[in-house]
Amino acid sequence: MDGQGARNGSGGGRGRDWWAQLYDPYTPDTGRTRAEDSVDDRFASVARTLGTTTGGRESPDAAERAERAEPPGARESSVAAEPSGPAALLPRADPDALAELVPDTVLEEARHGHTTLRAVSLRGEAAREAGEPRGDALLAARFTAGAHELVLVVVAAGARTDGAGAHRAAREACHVLAAAVGRSAVRLAEDLRADRRDALRPGLHRLTDRTLGRLRAQAAAWGLTPAQHTADVRCLLVPTDPRCRTRVCFGAGAGGLLRLRDGAWEDIEPRATPAPPPAAQPPVDRGRTADPAGAAAARDGFTAAEPRPSGLAEPFRFRVCAAESGDALLLTSPGLAEPLRAEPSFADRLAARWTRAETGPAALAAYLGDLGHRVAGHTRDRTGVLLQED
């Protein structure tokens, strides 16, 4: 509008004030008749000058100019970031337990080597309407440095049952798993680089069992049933060394692992694996201290956990993937896996937005809008970790 104002004014500051003068009721009318113009009359005159109509529709020339001026993808991005619904109720807070409050939404973003990581965990519509906290938990951490540097992402979904806080179990599972992986990061990174799957599978299996066993013990101490204090857990191990393209997914319970390759989704859900044999315990001489290696393994959480009740045992899931250039790996909680598998239009929408070579990886705000897109009948919390390879 500044250019139009400069042409109609005398230049300088007066030209910049042209738009304000248009709506100033005390500005004298410059029309051909002596009748005073209303604000609507003045707007109509400007609209005709700029090539638009007063009916709210642009003329073909004006629409073409606006389309040329609009950056590619701007309209679609604005639609994707629209709020998913009305404002939510805050969860009820305990003044003596404020540390248990969890935010409505968590965002993570990082780049290591040829890989871009974007992660979102957001409260579902059902929890927002009920004023309940987000039951999903997300944790992303980077351990050690150099050739042994390792990124761990944990996605956990607490059980939505009466009398228990789903968010407590989910957060506890994330913290226990991450602590154990971090203490053994060097050994895990070496196994990943050497592709020692037979060494990785039983160790991570015992670690997962130990984590779920801890949740069961807490449930008993609090007078809850095991089903009231448990979580579905999925993890990704990603070496930051660009020469190592091995990615490991492990966990137990519901969730999803999908790969976007050449514009199409592949469901690569980790397969269930049999229970590992108990860890061998070397004989200990009573006159000497315990074996240092055995003590380190116990400290790291890779010893055999207590036997799981057969009725509650979730199968351990484990999969090793080799990332290729252009791949996108998506790790999800159950609340996101369900609409992706049940609603092809939702999955196709994400595939179309995330495979555009000219735009590169989705910006974090756009990624949040994509995952929060409303799908009828699916109102659970959603957590998704997107790993995109250059």
Give CA–CA dist 54/275, Å, rounded: 72
Residue 222 · residue 132 · CB < 8 Å: no
Q: What angle do CA 368, 374, 379 make, to 5 degrees?
A: 100
Mean pLDDT across 348-371: 81
pLDDT at 370 (0 to 100): 94
Asked if pLDDT for residue 166 goes beyond 70, the answer is yes
What pLDDT is attached to residue 150?
Answer: 94
Nearest C-alpha neighbor of 247 from the set 117, 108, 384? 117
Share of the chain above pLDDT 90, in %: 49
Predicted confidence (pLDDT) per residue in 209-260, tens digit: 999 999 999 989 988 888 888 999 999 999 998 888 999 999 999 999 999 9
Q: What is the pLDDT of residue 60?
A: 43
Q: Would you state the pLDDT for residue 49? A: 56
- Pick from 28-32, 139-143, 270-274: least confident: 28-32
- How sure is the predictor about 321, in pLDDT bands with cuts at 50, 70 and 90? very high
Q: Which pLDDT does position 251 carry in this prediction? A: 96
- Whole-number pLDDT of residue 266: 94
Q: Is the pTM of this model over 0.75?
A: no
Position 260 scores a pLDDT of: 95
Indicate whether 281 pLDDT > 60. Answer: no
Q: What is the pLDDT of residue 33?
A: 55
Residue that is written with structure tokens 């101490």 in the block:
221
Taking residues 269-293, report their average pLDDT: 55
Please report the pLDDT score of residue 366 as a whole number: 92
Task: Provide the pLDDT confidence category of residue 118 given band limits of 50, 70 and 90.
Answer: very high
Reduce the secondary structure of the chain to three states and give it as a string: CHHHHHHHCCCHHHHHCHHHHHCCCCCCCCCCCCCCCCHHHHHHHHHHHHCECCCCCECHHHHHHHHHHCCCCHHHHHHHCCCCCCCCCCCCCCCCCHHHCCCCEEEEEEEECCEEEEEEEECCHHHHHHCCCCCEEEEEEEECCHHHCEEEEEEEEECCCCCCCHHHHHHHHHHHHHHHHHHCHHHHHHHHHCCCHHHHHHHHHHHHHHHHHHHHHHHHHCCCCHHHCCEEEEEEEEECCCCCCEEEEEEECCCEEEEEECCEEEECCCEEECCCCCCCCCCCCCCCCCCHHHHHHHHHCCCCCCCCCCCCCCCEEEEEEECCCCCEEEEECHHHHHHHHHCHHHHHHHHHHHCCCCCCCCCHHHHHHHHCCCECCECCCEEEEEEEEC
Q: Could you give the domains of the chain?
A: 2-69 (no CATH), 74-93+102-389 (3.60.40.10)
pLDDT of residue 41: 66
Alpha carbons within 13 angstroms on the beta-carbon side of residue 163 total 9
- Cα separation, 173 vs 219, whole angstroms: 13
On the CB side of 222, CA atoms within 13 Å amount to: 18
Mean pLDDT for the chain overall:
77
- What gap in Å lies between CA 42 and CA 364, rounded to an integer? 43
What pLDDT, on a 0 to 100 scale, did the predictor assign at position 37?
62
346 is written with which tokens? 């939702």
Closest CA to 235 of 310, 144, 329: 329
What pLDDT score does 224 carry? 87
Q: In what order do the strands lie in the sheet with 271-273?
A: 136-143, 150-158, 231-239, 246-252, 316-322, 271-273
pLDDT of residue 329: 95
pLDDT at 83 over 50: no
Asked whether the beta carbons of 248 and 234 are under 8 A apart, the reply is no
Residue 92 has pLDDT above 70, yes or no: yes
Considering 52-61, 293-302, 349-358, the range whose residues carry the highest mean pLDDT is 349-358
Q: Name the phi and psi angles at 39, rounded to 5.
A: -60, -40
Q: What is the per-residue pLDDT across 37-60, written as a single tens digit (0 to 9) for each? A: 665 666 666 556 555 444 444 444
Name the more confident of 344 and 289: 344
Return the top range by mean pLDDT from 1-10, 69-78, 80-89, 304-313: 80-89
Q: How far is CA 81 from CA 29, 72, 127, 154, in A?
A: 44, 16, 20, 25
